[in-house]
Structure 1
């Protein structure tokens, strides 16, 4: 959770300041619900650098699948997660080496995150909020995919077992 120092410092006087601070912090807890697009989020890449998703503005995004790499403005973002059967136990360096060496991944990889629960990354809270699942918003397994249009709006969610070639027609709507 990120708190903006300017908001904390602008709290009036010592009297009641703590309760105002706590109220401000509580209000910030679900800030992601007010986001109008994914471009309001940032995440650490696989090398530990903070990346503003605004960098992808004007591209169509599909999170987590290598087959389409970058074509006609399509950008793929991969977010490793160890919440599904401990399938990603390695460090960022190990994950990067594995996906590069074994699969030749060339799309943008980000640091390992949680996608479910209270400590889920705000980006995935937002994606799930905008494109809920069939039996609830939580992500059930690795390789759940989200299609995001050029304006940064999540437009569709796909099950983990959905093959990329079966969703290609949806990409064409947003190119």
Structure 2
């Protein structure tokens, strides 16, 4: 005769083991939807440092776009990629991906990759942002929260909105991950 309780415990253990085995180990295990359509597999940047930033078009911190572009330009040749992830989680984003692209191009000349409008906090957060929140000190509390991912794809450090992209704290962290 089968002991139902023992069977349930065994099934739960197997399910937990499978969930653990399937948990992404690095940022390179994620794919985001691209702003222009299609996919942005983060594995395309394997071996590079990646700065993932939740962005918004109509926020008091929106001028950080310009500094993010300068940071991308300054360090791209050394192995840094900036990835913008527009989000309306704080009610300050345009209504469509096309409007985000038009805004970013027209106002800031953004050339770094951009994901489609995505959720970055709460139960609806994308799997990438849930993973970043677990590893990088919590979920974004506002627009322009930044996560710096090391070249290994596993090391993550979060930076609050108030930390400007060209602040000494950010520049030092970028330089350290690029040397690693």
User: How far has the Cα of 1:32 moved from its partner?
Assistant: 10
> Who is 1:151 aligned against?
152
Query: Aligned Cα RMSD in Å?
Result: 2.3
Query: Which SS does the other structure have where 1:68 is aligned?
Result: helix
User: Does 1:83 pair with 2:84?
Assistant: no
TM value normalised by structure 2: 0.74
2:100 alignment counterpart = 95
Structure 1's consecutive aligned runs of 4 or more residues displaced over 6 angstroms after TM superposition are 30-33
2: CA distance between counterparts of 1:57 and 1:122?
18
- Alpha-carbon displacement from aligned partner over 1:29-49 (angstroms, at most 9, x marks no partner): x77982110111101110111
- Partner SS, residue 67 of structure 1: helix
Higher fraction of helix: 2
Three-state SS of the structure 2 residue aligned to 1:171 is helix
What is the CA–CA distance in structure 1 between the aligned matches of 2:50 and 2:172, rounded to whole Å? Answer: 14
How many pairs align?
146
Q: Which has the higher contact order (CA 8 A, sep 6+)?
A: 2
Task: Map residues 135-150 of structure 1 onto 2, 5 A cutoff.
Answer: 137-150=138-151
- What residue in structure 1 maps to residue 27 of structure 2? 38
Structure 2 counterpart of 1:130: 135
Taking the aligned partners of 2:22 and 2:142, their CA distance within structure 1 comes to: 23
Unpaired runs of at least 5, structure 2: 1-11, 54-67
Distance (Å, rounded) in 2 between the aligned partners of 1:140 and 1:31: 27
CA distance in 2: counterparts of 1:115 and 1:72, whole angstroms:
28
